[in-house]
Amino acid sequence: MTQQRIGKKTVRDIDVTNKKVLLRADLNVPLENGAVTDDTRIRESIPTIRYLLEHGAAGVVVCSHLGRPKGRDEALSLAPVAGRLANILNREVLFAEDCVGEQAAAAVGAMPRGSILLLENLRFHPAEEANDPAFARELASFADVFVNDAFGSAHRAHASTEGVTHYLPSVAGLLMEKEVQYLSALVADPPKPFAAVIGGAKVSTKISAIEHLLPKLDMLFLGGGMANTFFVANGVDVRMSLVEAEQVAVARRILEDAKARHVQVFLPVDVVAATAFAVDAESTVVKPADVPRGYMILDIGPATVKLYARELRKAKAVIWNGPMGVFEMENFSHGSTGIAREIASLQAATVVGGGETAAVVAMTGLEKQFTHVSTGGGASLEMLEGRELPGVAALLDS
């Protein structure tokens, strides 16, 4: 998989000496009782912050969203994130109690040379998601240069991802560059044989990605709730399992298209079926056609993991997007974690879409065994669909 330039200027292409930099990072991390429970995204933002300071930036003003607040919500304050960022960097990180307005402007104005300031949650203001020009202009007024390193938000045309680019010279950060490089290179020119493992609850959310990938693929492995719709397309009764009835014809078309293109499609040969969507539900491992009445499919079975593992060993490149079952429940997580371990062991280029798939990988502790684990679920999916991300498109061309 050859690395290629992303067609956009990055921090390496500009001089940040004596300039204040507005850095859009993706610090949308999980919190529990006011503490960060997974700092992966914070750590991924560190190389760009260090690069800017090492190259003489007058200061780095970091902005991000956290969660989906409706107005100001102290439970979704970025204050704990500032603390964790300071711990990782082993240096002070200043915090502004708002992202715009007098408080923010005063905090930016008081920044000592070479310091880091984290602004409060952008989404405390509806103007962020509305891509309001006045809000974007005010954010831009805090800096001389804009660096977008928030790949996880690059598929959204918000004030902090697209709006600010109208007011400042705008380039990609090191994480943004890495994400776009890996995903675009894999889809544009994959080593062969090329395999995709696609899961998740619904076919409807993955159709575009499958259709875009199909002409490049040699093997397609399906799992998760979406596999049920493909079972029905093949005439299998999956009882109480989740099925998108309106997508059955689409699933049938994908199977026909794959056959015409000589793409091998693998569906689960055994499944874990349970009486309820619950941790303590009675469950059994059966063939998809043998799901008992009153049961629903909630995971792929052990024979499927073995089959997929054996066939995946033939691949030179693998893209994985979507869990194989209800991995949040321990008794239905084994299919997903099993596939994670098998892909991690491959002698191949292995790229994982973000979101839930990255969460599965994190459960195994094998992140470093993959070629690349994306930080952006929605953004990586849209790249796999062949779509241009607004947050990337808005940056200066190289």
Residues annotated as part of the active site: 41, 202, 355, 378
d(CA 89, CA 96) in angstroms, rounded, equals 18
SS3 letters across 320-387: EECCCCCCCCHHHCHHHHHHHHHHHCCCCEEEECCCHHHHHHHHHCCHHHCCEECCCHHHHHHHHCCC
Report the alpha-carbon angle 297-298-303, nearest 5: 80
d(CA 42, CA 81) in angstroms, rounded, equals 8
d(CA 389, CA 82) in angstroms, rounded, equals 28
Neighbours of 113 (CB within 10 A): 10
Three-state SS at 61:
strand
Token pair for 104: 């923010």
Main-chain dihedrals φ then ψ at residue 286, nearest 5 degrees? -140, 170
The answer for 314, left when phi > 0, alpha when psi is -120 to 50, beta otherwise, is alpha
- The residues near 75 (Cβ < 8 Å, ≥ 6 apart) are 31, 34
d(CA 39, CA 42) in angstroms, rounded, equals 5
Token pair for 261: 């293109």
C-beta separation of 383 from 184 below 8 A: yes
Q: How many helices (H) and strands (E) does the chain have?
A: 14, 17
Crossing angle (nearest 10°) for helices 356-364 and 334-344: 80
Neighbours of 164 (CB within 10 A): 28
**% helix, strand, coil for the chain, step of 5:** 40, 15, 40
